[in-house]
Amino acid sequence: MDELSWFLGTLRSKDYLPLSRLIPGFPRDLRTPNVLKTQVVGVLTRGFSNNGRRSKHLKMHIHELFKKSGADLIGKYPDLVSESVDDLILKMKAESRIRPYQQISMFYTMFEDQYIELLPKLLAAPNELSPLEALVDTEPVLNKLDKLVGRETFEDLIPVIQSDVLGIQDTKFCNDEDELLSELLKTKKKERYQLLFSFLITDERYKNPEYKRLCDAVIRDYHSKKYADLEKDFVQNKATIEGQARENQNLHARIRELELIEKEAAQLRQQLEVLMSQNEVATTAYQAANNELEQIKVKYDSASYWRDSIQRYMREIKPEDRHYLIVTDDPSSIVTTFFNIQGVARDALTSIGSKRLWDQRYKNTCFFVLRNNFISTDDWFQFVGLMNRFGAEYREVTGYEEMRHIAEIINFMLEEN
């Protein structure tokens, strides 16, 4: 399998449209998915097989496409920029929205030499593996360390281990084997290699063949410690990167939200500019609207004052057994809010079937009935008949404007008291 066939095999039908936008001169009017796919494959095939030769047909080498796609991806996800292939793999693994072809593009864009070196491995990977999975080295880290240790001697590692051991306080130096054994039995297992090392470098004992097994033990324990440190750092770095990935996802979501808000704001600004250009009195209209808003505010403040005054007045003059209800299809209307009187729907009243039940619920209650909730005269007279049948006290509130309703109710209250 060649590189082009392998790359095309990673593509899905939804990948061809974003790829086509990266190809200079590619037609934008191709709507059929099959035609779009055929055209993109043709451009890449000509670029791959005829690279360097003149052609009247559109062509593009996949490496050039990789660079464009990689640059586009870095612009969207700047945190993907990495210092090593392993770091890049870990970051892309945490970013679930990155498509397989984008993984390839990022790898080639950031580490072209390593891409060329690892290309045979990518081509030989099973089809069910994504490029990211194919790049992951499945060999355990400890196996790598074992291979590395096999090529090293104790003498090679003396400068490295010495800088590590000498940085530890209270490092003991044993004069003979008996003292060494005694100290080892009192020392934690993971720290024994420090004692062995200080013993072996004294008088260059490591050159004595009798101490070869001790030298091997120092090498093994030193690399085990380093492996444990590396594994700890890896877990911490992975947790940090995964946390950053989650933060990036939240940040991208917020950015998209802000972009939508900005787009809506731009549309509103455009509409305002059109309105201003078409109507020379737009400024005057704005000033008039602003003045009207101020007047409404004054009216609102006044209404709030009178509402509070009326509520205080009602609390002072209303008998304790006197109740008011407003009959309306909108219990949360301005009228109920203004008087702080509960609203009741007509259905709640017409559903009562007996005088006894009516008296239990509404005895000593005066109803303010908003007439505009009745669609016909017959509808109104049926309701009036219900009120008369139960001997209910009610006041008909006429008109269609809420301010008129408020005024009439105030008059009713004043007349009653």
pLDDT digit string (tens) for 207-220? 888 888 888 888 88
55-59, 67-71, 159-163, 191-195, range with greatest mean pLDDT: 67-71
- The total number of residues shown for the chain amounts to 417
How large is the average pLDDT for residues 356-372? 90
| Cross-strand bridge partners of residue 370 | 397
pTM of structure:
0.36
Q: Residue 147 — very low, low, confident or very high, per pLDDT cuts 50/70/90?
A: very low
Q: How far is Cα 105 from Cα 66, in angstroms, rounded to an integer?
A: 4
Query: Distances in Å between the alpha carbon of 240 and those of 87, 97, 135, 248?
Result: 12, 19, 21, 12
pLDDT-based confidence at residue 319 (cuts at 50, 70, 90):
low
DSSP 103-130: HHHHHHHH-HHHHHHHHHHHHHS-TTS-
Selected residue with higher pLDDT from 195 and 19: 19
Residue 19 has pLDDT above 60, yes or no: yes
Instruction: Please name the residue ranges forming H helices in 31-171.
Output: 33-49, 62-76, 85-94, 100-110, 112-124, 131-135, 141-150, 154-166
The rounded distance, in Å, linking the Cα atoms of 27 and 21 is 9
Class of the domain covering 318-416: alpha beta
Residue pair 402/307 in contact (Cβ under 8 Å)? The answer is no
* Domain regions of the chain by residue span: 3-135, 141-245, 318-416
Per-residue pLDDT at 169: 47
Structure tokens at 285: 């209209």
3-state secondary structure of 136: coil
Res 150 pLDDT > 60: no
